[in-house]
């Protein structure tokens, strides 16, 4: 089938590559000339395991193409996927400028029926806005043709995006028209094998489903972080509590890991956008505000632990920092806990020696060269001459380090662990002063 995808960012590129992988003829459109040039050469502008190989293989097979031309994009695909960014406005609501620009340009070049698929995370009611924007342009053109708008939210996790797309646990389709259900079913058939994963519903419910999923997951994390903070004051161990509650299948083990807060491109933005939607409809979404507030506070935990150890004034110290990305297997630093920590440390006159397996280039892009930031070649190098070690991202390679090296290299044998990677008992045995989240230390 012929598919056009607008936006070659995270969602667009993964969708494009995976749809091409199963044999579709995919054309990706982006306005960023630099990005398109890179992609035409098989270079991938983001870090996602396996994506480069999949893109390159499908380019070579002639199933995946890139262009700057919207006209070409509209001419190409029966399916017109909108996967452009919806950055948060100053007030937290999603900015639909790019989505509606794409919708208008589809209508501008359309010569017959198209199915327009909203893949970007967009507030409830966006499909109606897309339809209206397209109708206006068609009226201006005095051109009459049928088209459908479908909501098809994505549930990809960074770092596992290909697997999530190729083996989805559900494919949500929001539609008001049986014709589109059949077309979408056909397009997704290769991903819908062992049992029917297509969940078909009305458009608004599909749009809300995406926010509901992310807000629920963010709520689980903030709930555990709230409990972790209480456990600390109560002399309980949140890790034991986590196992104690996770064994109840109604609660489950997923997404109940306490830590120094969630980050990334989705949770912070989507919880805020849903809160904003609530405000617009005159509803006070108290739970969502609390989820957001707890997370904001949690990102300060590593700094608070440092103050707990060294006292309020940290000026002149050097902190070794392991982890910059908002989570493992990505170079994404959007809303990362590392940023809150580094920015606070710098304000206090503290130097940072950081290491991250993949996010250091991104860190330089964000912060440039600074006297109070050294990006180190290895995790061990980051320890050299530092006062203590702080961990904010749970990369696999940090799970079992050589604690003797850590002790030798650091001025003080102090670890502040924002992700609860080690056991307090083991740390005590090794003579390391260990601070974790919700573990009484
Ligand atoms: C998320 C959703 O999982 C995905 O379905 C959606 O499409 C996009 O948003 P992603 O942002 O890639 O995906 O990251 P995810 O793996 O969900 O982690 C989000 C954040 O929560 C990370 O900062 C992680 O460290 C944190 N987290 C996760 C916790 O603090 N505790 C947990 O138990 C789980």
pLDDT, tens digit (0-9, with 9 covering 90-100), for 277-315: 999 999 999 999 999 999 999 999 999 999 999 999 999
Catalytic residues: 266
The protein residue whose alpha carbon is closest to atom 27 in ligand 1 is: 262
| Residue 160 structure tokens | 């596992």
Q: For ligand 1, what atom is nearest to the CA of residue 213?
A: 5
d(CA 38, CA 263): 28
Residue 158 annotated in ligand binding: yes
Q: What is the ipTM of this complex?
A: 0.90
pTM as predicted: 0.93
Kindly report, residue by residue over 7-33, the tens digit of the pLDDT: 999 999 999 999 999 999 999 999 999
The alpha carbon of 426 and the centre of ligand 1 are apart by a number of angstroms equal to 28
Contact 147, 113 (CB under 8 A): yes
pLDDT at 7: 97
Residue 388 CA to ligand 1 center (angstroms) comes to: 27
In this structure, are residues 349 and 314 in contact, taking their beta carbons and an 8 Å threshold? yes
The whole-number average pLDDT for the span 117-145 is 96
Contact between 257 and 247 under an 8 Å Cβ cutoff? The reply is: no
Domain residue spans of the chain: 2-201, 211-296, 299-435
C-alpha of residue 265 to centroid of ligand 1, in Å: 9
Task: Tell which one of 267, 270, 394, 418 to mutate to probe ligand 1, the residue whose CB is within 8 A of the most ligand atoms.
Answer: 267
Nearest atom in ligand 1 to the alpha carbon of residue 255 is 33
Taking CB atoms and a 6 Å cutoff, what residues make up the pocket around ligand 1?
154-158, 214, 217, 221, 255-257, 259, 262-264, 266-267, 326-327
Buried b (16+ CB within 10 A) or exposed e, 22-60: eebbbbbbbbeeebbeebeeeebebbbeebeebbbebbe
Instruction: Provide the H-helix boundaries in 83-199.
Output: 97-109, 126-141, 161-166, 178-188
Q: What is the pLDDT of residue 193?
A: 86
Picking from 379, 253, 238, 236, the residue whose alpha carbon sits closest to that of residue 298 is 238
Give the mean pLDDT of 227-231: 98
68 vs 29, 103, 262, 287, CA distance in Å? Answer: 5, 16, 35, 43
Q: Is 35 annotated as a binding residue?
A: yes
Q: What is the pLDDT of residue 158?
A: 87
138 pLDDT band (50/70/90 cuts)?
Answer: very high
Instruction: Check the annotation: does 257 bind a ligand.
Output: yes
Residue 217 CA to ligand 1 centre (angstroms): 8
Q: Could you tell me which CATH number the domain at 299-435 has? A: 3.40.50.720
Backbone angles phi, psi at 170, to 5 degrees: -155, 155
Residue 157, annotated as binding a ligand: yes
**What does CATH list as the number for 211-296?**
1.10.1040.10
Domain 2-201 and domain 299-435, same fold? Reply is yes
Q: 418 C-alpha vs ligand 1 centroid, how far in Å? A: 15
Residue nearest to atom 26 of ligand 1 (CA): 262
Please give the number of the atom of ligand 1 that sits closest to the Cα of 157.
12
Supply the residue whose CA is at minimum distance from atom 5 of ligand 1: 155
Residue with the smallest CA separation from ligand 1 atom 6 is 155
334 is in an annotated binding site: yes
* Nearest atom, ligand 1, residue 263 CA: 23
Consult the annotation and say whether 398 binds a ligand.
no
- The pLDDT assigned to 174 comes to 98
pLDDT digits (tens, 9 = 90+) for 64-95: 999 999 999 999 999 999 999 988 888 878 89
* The pLDDT of residue 313: 96
Q: What letter would DSSP give residue 253?
A: S
Report pLDDT digits (tens) over 152-206: 999 999 889 999 999 999 999 999 999 999 999 999 999 998 899 999 999 999 9
Closest CA to 131 of 93, 165, 174, 91: 174
Distance CA 387, CA 369 (A): 22
82 forms beta bridges with 6, 118
Q: Give CA–CA dist 431/147, Å, rounded.
A: 68
Q: How far is the CA of 262 from the centre of ligand 1 (A)?
A: 7
**pLDDT tens string 357-376:** 999 999 999 999 999 999 99
Ligand 1 mutation pick, 239, 266, 330, max ligand atoms within 8 A of CB: 266
Ligand 1 binding pocket mutation candidate from 327, 396, 418 (most atoms within 8 A of CB): 327
Mean per-residue pLDDT of the chain: 96
Class of domain 2-201: alpha beta
């Amino acid at each position: 089938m012929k598919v056009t995808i607008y936006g070659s960012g995270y969602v667009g590129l993964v969708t494009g590559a995976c749809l091409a992988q199963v044999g579709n003829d995919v054309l990706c459109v982006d306005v960023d000339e630099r990005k398109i040039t890179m992609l035409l050469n098989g270079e991938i502008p983001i870090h996602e395991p396996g994506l480069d190989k999949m893109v390159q293989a499908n380019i070579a097979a002639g199933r995946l193409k890139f262009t700057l031309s919207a006209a070409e994009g509209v001419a190409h695909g029966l399916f017109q996927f909108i996967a452009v960014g919806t950055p948060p406005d100053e007030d937290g609501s999603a900015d639909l400028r790019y989505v509606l620009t794409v919708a208008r340009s589809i209508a501008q070049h359309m010569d017959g029926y198209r199915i327009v698929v909203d893949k970007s995370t967009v507030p409830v009611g966006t499909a109606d806005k897309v339809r209206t924007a397209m109708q206006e342009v068609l009226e201006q053109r005095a051109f009459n043709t049928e088209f459908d708008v479908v909501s098809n939210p994505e549930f990809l996790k960074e770092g596992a995006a290909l697997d999530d797309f190729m083996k989805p646990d559900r494919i949500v389709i929001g539609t008001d028209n049986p014709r589109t259900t059949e077309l979408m079913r056909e397009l997704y058939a290769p991903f819908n094998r062992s049992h029917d994963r297509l969940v078909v519903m009305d458009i608004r419910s599909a749009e809300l489903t995406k926010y509901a999923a992310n807000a629920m997951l963010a709520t689980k994390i903030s709930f555990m972080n709230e409990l972790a903070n209480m456990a600390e004051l109560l002399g309980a161990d949140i890790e034991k509590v986590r196992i104690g509650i996770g064994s109840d299948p109604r609660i489950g083990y997923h997404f109940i890991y306490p830590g120094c807060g969630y980050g990334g491109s989705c949770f912070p933005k989507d919880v805020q956008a849903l809160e904003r939607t609530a405000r617009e409809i005159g509803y006070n979404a108290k739970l969502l505000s609390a989820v957001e507030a707890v997370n904001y506070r949690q990102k300060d935990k590593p700094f608070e632990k440092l103050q707990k150890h060294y006292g309020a004034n940290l000026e002149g110290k050097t902190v070794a920092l392991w982890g910059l990305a908002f989570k493992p297997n990505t170079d994404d630093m959007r809303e990362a806990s590392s940023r809150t920590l580094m920015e606070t440390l710098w304000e206090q006159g503290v130097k940072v020696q950081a290491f991250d397996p993949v996010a250091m280039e991104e860190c330089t892009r964000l912060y440039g060269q600074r006297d109070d930031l050294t990006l180190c070649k290895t995790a061990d190098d980051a320890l050299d001459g530092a006062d203590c070690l702080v961990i904010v991202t749970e990369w696999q390679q940090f799970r079992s380090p050589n604690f003797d090296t850590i002790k030798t290299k650091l001025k003080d044998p102090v670890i502040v662990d924002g992700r609860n990677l080690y056991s307090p008992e083991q740390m005590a045995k090794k003579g390391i002063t260990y601070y974790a989240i919700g573990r009484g230390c």
